[in-house]
Structure 1
Amino acid sequence: MHFKDYAVQQGEPAALKCPILQHYHLNFNMASNLSLHLTWYKNDSKNEINGVDSRIQAQEDLLWFLPATMDDSGYYACVLRNSSFCIEVAISLTVVKSNDVALQDIAYRQYIFTLTSGYINCPDLNDFITNDRDLDLRWYKESVPLPQLSKKFEYVVGSNKLNINDVSPADRGFYTCELRFTHRGKRYNITRVIQLQTIDQEKRSHPVIVYPNHKTIEAVLGSKLIIPCKVFTGFGRHSGTVVWWLANNTLVDRNSFHDSRVTEGEFQKITENGRNYIVVQLIFVETREEDFKTDFKCIAKNEYGSQVLPTQLRKAASAFSWYTVVVPAASICLIVGVLCLYKCRKSRAQKDYIQAKL
């Protein structure tokens, strides 16, 4: 199953995609033919979101915000059910004001090595375009428009990429890509903020931990929790990098820590836009008080170097009985071995639904 957090600027469109159909290799029509119905709710509300002409619209497996406002921030549940089966997944939406501090919090982190030519990409646009010809992007660095063709920067026509030639440390910083989007005759601007970090050539093979990117992570007491450690390993073949978790300087293996309540997930190798990553998840079957007093560390190491990233849990309130931490402001989707799918709340239907397991 693909978990994702969404973040958008106030006044811009947002489209939340329910991951359930994709996981079961279904489209909306196939689900309808199987008498499966998809519905959307916000937080713990019993009121279904089904507006067609309203600002918030449920259209097949997408929940549209045209546009998003600050009050839209929160969790949204997509529910797939029939008479005897029900799956519910929550998706987070964060709406921020258009100021430098807020935009840095939702920036997509991308990496390029110095002394080479590379590119950055404008992520998460698929739901706003029908084909690549619609990709008419404008690029900015630190709010200054970039020319479409220069010795340093080059737009790639029909692509979401911006080429950067002869990369140097001076090229790091915040870039913004802008797409014009028209819906029912009304035009919107869709922007994505990318934080570019450059890596010196001598550290080309060093592992770089890109998430967690905060020293504290919010979690709900009693909830299920997944924290992925995502490590950038370069552009070529996957290196011999190893990644693992520590809890109070003790190894978190798959069987021993806290009576198997906290375990490590599978070692995953993924590639995004030509960039290689390794992901190892820290999985809490249930968060308890002791977890908020535990020092967790993600460690990445290969023959060229290592990096250690400490993190701690911080209590948070939530309307849902589970919580999944995913890479925010990132384009990756993490495939987990055991999906956090749960019984739908009986208050929404007077039937006993089975728990869905994969």
Structure 2
Amino acid sequence: MKHKPVYNGEPAKIRCPLFEAFLKYNYSTAHSAGLTLIWYWIGQGRDLEEPINFRLPDNHISKEKDTLWFRPALLNDTGNYTCMLRNATYCSKVAFPLEVVNKDPGSCVSQAVKPDTVMRYLEHTNVKLTCPDVDGFLPAGTKPKVQWLRNCVSVEGFHERYPNGLVLTFGVVRETFKGDYTCVVTYKENGQDFVLTRTLRIKVVAPPEKGTPPQIFSPDDRVVYEQPAGSELVLPCRVYFPYLKGLPPEVSWLVDGRNTDDIVDLKINISQNEIYDAVENLNYEKILIVPKATEEDLKRNYTCYARNPLGEEYRQAIVKLQVPVPRYTVELACGLGATVFLVVMLTVVYHVYWLEMVLFYRAHFGTDETILDGKEFDIYVSYARNAEEEEFVLLTLRGVLENEFGYKLCIFDRDSLPGGSEYLK
């Protein structure tokens, strides 16, 4: 039988499990039947079982009815203890270990002593925490001195936590109140001072009034799993479970309405992941993997199923077979797209640079059509008789059209004879 380790120098007691487990006798009926309770022990590192001698003058171990007392327990008390119930015709015994440990250096507890975990609901008010496992240790009428610690720091003056003897009251349970709460109980017995150290681990959880049925986030109606045959099909089922005390939440994949454990004609791998938030709400993920999904596999019905004590929910994954696109269709589409792009680019270039293109062609590949047209001038220039326009015509326009492009201009002041009329032929 397993027992928690006890602290060196603190009282401890062990009740013989024969009267708890087998129920053939209680201590009174066993004594009436002539049965004797005998205690043995095997010390740590020893092989020989020895009876416990309770008559030694300085012995700190005593027996009271069916209970073995250590006042206090010491490190060398570590070992296996056996209680035997026997008479001339009957014998029954059971052995169990006792481990005595020191507290960790600089700490009020030892990591070897694992505390029990208790839940407290978030934002509940006037919640009480009672120092555990002290019943039977305190003599009748004794009022012990109690110090409460959180993670080995005194709670005196802590916000919304009020110690009162063996009871610690939470005014309002906050998320930050989680942790290990230790009560150190000091009392007197027969003129001797004793100390008991007890620890509870507080978890702050979501209150039951906020509980809901599970909520499935994936698969989703907006997500389609479309892929070709022979590829790996990966379907995640993501579910949110608010904290609820009682039956654990359940998540499973159904294939064509059947549990995956019942599917024999489909190779399936399942993996799962659990993430708890600060108040023990659960985000659960169960992933279904079909390594090489055939065309028939991609036509199956895949449904995520989730349940908790408040309800259940189903969500189907939309799986489709991806039809491969023919190669020639891809090539044709690429060629047509390139052609359309080229035509558009050439049209834009022509509209922007059409004049430059015409002049470039004329200068390099064409013939000068003005040579044989029988005309003396190509362009007649008329302008206002002021200095600004005259300067533009004679210096700028004439230089560009005549010198660069080869046109013959008829300019009034330059090419007209006085008193005569000139006509372009």
* TM-score of the aligned structures, taking structure 1 as reference length: 0.51
Query: What do residues 263-290 of structure 1 show as CA deviations (whole Å, max 9, x unaligned)?
Result: xxxxxxxxxxxxxxxxxxxxxxxxxxxx
Pair 1:17-2:25 in alignment: no
What letter matches 1:37 in structure 2? Answer: T
Distance in 1, Cα, partners of 2:54 & 2:32: 22
Pair 1:140-2:144 in alignment: no
Aligned to 2:73: 68
What letter matches 1:92 in structure 2? Answer: P
Aligned to 1:190: 196
What letter matches 1:89 in structure 2? Answer: V
Alpha-carbon distance, 1:176 to partner: 1.0
Aligned to 1:116: 124
Aligned to 1:46: 49
User: Per the alignment, do residues 107 and 241 of structure 1 end up closer, same or farther by CA in structure 2, a change over 3 Å counting?
Assistant: closer
Query: What do residues 133-161 of structure 1 show as CA deviations (whole Å, max 9, x unaligned)?
Result: 646533222223334x986223456xx43
Alpha-carbon distance, 1:97 to partner: 1.5
Distance in 2, Cα, partners of 1:61 & 1:4: 18
Pair 1:82-2:87 in alignment: yes
Distance in 1, Cα, partners of 2:130 & 2:2: 18
What letter matches 1:113 in structure 2? Answer: Y
SS at match of 2:53: coil
Aligned to 2:135: 126
Bigger strand fraction: 1
User: Per the alignment, do residues 242 and 63 of structure 1 end up closer, same or farther by CA in structure 2, a change over 3 Å counting?
Assistant: farther
Counterpart pick for 2:6 among 5, 8, 26: 8
CA contact (8 A) 2:4 2:114 kept: no
CA RMSD of aligned residues (A): 3.6
What letter matches 1:303 in structure 2? Answer: P
What letter matches 1:153 in structure 2? Answer: R
Pair 1:171-2:177 in alignment: yes
Distance in 2, Cα, partners of 1:61 & 1:126: 16
User: Per the alignment, do residues 240 and 189 of structure 1 end up closer, same or farther by CA in structure 2, a change over 3 Å counting?
Assistant: closer
Pair 1:97-2:102 in alignment: yes
SS at match of 1:195: strand
Distance in 2, Cα, partners of 1:65 & 1:58: 9
Bigger helix fraction: 2
Distance in 1, Cα, partners of 2:143 & 2:25: 26
User: Per the alignment, do residues 82 and 97 of structure 1 end up closer, same or farther by CA in structure 2, a change over 3 Å counting?
Assistant: same
Which has the larger Rg?
2
Greater relative contact order (CA < 8 Å, ≥ 6 in sequence)? 1
Alpha-carbon distance, 1:6 to partner: 3.3
* Structure 1 segments unaligned to the other structure (5+ residues): 207-231, 244-248, 251-300, 307-358
Moved more, 86-95 or 10-19: 86-95
* TM-score of the aligned structures, taking structure 2 as reference length: 0.44
* Structure 2 segments unaligned to the other structure (5+ residues): 213-242, 251-259, 262-306, 313-425
- State percent identity of aligned pairs: 25
Query: What do residues 289-323 of structure 1 show as CA deviations (whole Å, max 9, x unaligned)?
Result: xxxxxxxxxxxx833699xxxxxxxxxxxxxxxxx
SS at match of 1:57: strand
User: Per the alignment, do residues 201 and 182 of structure 1 end up closer, same or farther by CA in structure 2, a change over 3 Å counting?
Assistant: same
Distance in 2, Cα, partners of 1:181 & 1:127: 13
SS at match of 1:21: helix
Aligned to 2:187: 181
What letter matches 1:112 in structure 2? Answer: R
User: Per the alignment, do residues 153 and 49 of structure 1 end up closer, same or farther by CA in structure 2, a change over 3 Å counting?
Assistant: same
What letter matches 2:41 in structure 1? Answer: K
What letter matches 1:187 in structure 2? Answer: D
Distance in 1, Cα, partners of 2:187 & 2:97: 23
CA contact (8 A) 2:11 2:70 kept: yes
Query: What do residues 55-114 of structure 1 show as CA deviations (whole Å, max 9, x unaligned)?
Result: 222332111222222232232111111222222122332222112472464322221111
What letter matches 2:175 in structure 1? Answer: P
Aligned length: 217
Alpha-carbon distance, 1:51 to partner: 1.2
Query: What do residues 116-143 of structure 1 show as CA deviations (whole Å, max 9, x unaligned)?
Result: 1323222211220255864653322222
What letter matches 1:116 in structure 2? Answer: H
CA contact (8 A) 2:77 2:98 kept: yes
Alpha-carbon distance, 1:28 to partner: 3.8
SS at match of 1:102: coil
User: Per the alignment, do residues 19 and 242 of structure 1 end up closer, same or farther by CA in structure 2, a change over 3 Å counting?
Assistant: farther
SS at match of 1:120: strand
What letter matches 1:46 in structure 2? Answer: E
Distance in 1, Cα, partners of 2:209 & 2:53: 51
User: Per the alignment, do residues 162 and 91 of structure 1 end up closer, same or farther by CA in structure 2, a change over 3 Å counting?
Assistant: farther
CA contact (8 A) 2:208 2:244 kept: no
Distance in 2, Cα, partners of 1:96 & 1:74: 12
The 5 A counterparts of 1:196-235 are 196-201=202-207, 234=245
SS at match of 1:31: helix
What letter matches 1:60 in structure 2? Answer: K
User: Per the alignment, do residues 55 and 240 of structure 1 end up closer, same or farther by CA in structure 2, a change over 3 Å counting?
Assistant: closer
What letter matches 2:40 in structure 1? Answer: Y
CA contact (8 A) 2:4 2:113 kept: no
User: Per the alignment, do residues 77 and 233 of structure 1 end up closer, same or farther by CA in structure 2, a change over 3 Å counting?
Assistant: farther
SS at match of 2:30: helix
User: Per the alignment, do residues 203 and 305 of structure 1 end up closer, same or farther by CA in structure 2, a change over 3 Å counting?
Assistant: farther
CA contact (8 A) 2:6 2:113 kept: no
Distance in 2, Cα, partners of 1:172 & 1:187: 32
